[in-house]
Amino acid sequence: MSWVRIWVHLVFTTKNRDPLLNNQIRDEVFRHIQQNAEKKEIWLDCINGYSEHAHCLISLSKDQSISQVAQLIKGESSFWINQNKLVKGKFLWQDDYWAVSVSESPVGSVKDYIHNQNEHHRIKSFTEEVDEFMKKFGWEYN
């Protein structure tokens, strides 16, 4: 029997970073994403975010890819948000996403970071957060 644990910190935004995930719907959307992930056998350890983005800590199974999991989570949740008319107009997630592997030892810190998104974004905007990650990991904008 195979045993695989590949932790991935996945971040994705609303289309054009529109602040559509307001306080009234954010928890409901994230709860739905968690339940849907469970149905699709995606190990979504935790999810949280702010008005225009979501952070997920996922453990991939031996048969899953990051792109497959991102598509399953984003596609179904945008369909569900639109079906339930949680926002005015059409809800879309941005096509792109950000993903980075996480080794076992800092998993607890990543969970804390994800759980504390509301406090974190009172101090720092999402744009500042992205710029900080880009610098930290030596990435450049395409």
- Asked if residue 37 belongs to a domain, the reply is yes
3-state secondary structure of 32: helix
Name the domain count of the chain.
Answer: 1
Asked if residue 52 lies in contact with residue 17, where contact means CB atoms within 8 angstroms, the answer is yes
| 1 belongs to a structural domain | no
Any residues with CB less than 8 A from the CB of 57 and at least 6 apart, and which? 7, 8, 9, 10, 44, 45, 46, 47, 102, 107, 110, 111, 114
130 belongs to a structural domain? yes
Q: What is the domain-level CATH number for residue 60?
A: 3.30.70.1290
Question: Residue 80: inside a domain, yes or no?
Answer: yes
Residue 101 and residue 8 in contact, taking contact as beta carbons nearer than 8 Å: yes
Torsions phi, psi for 61 (to 5 deg): -85, 175
pLDDT score, position 46? 97
Identify the domain containing residue 89 by its residue range.
6-137
User: What tens digit of pLDDT does each residue of 14-51 get?
Assistant: 999 999 999 999 999 999 999 999 999 999 999 999 99
pLDDT score at 116:
85
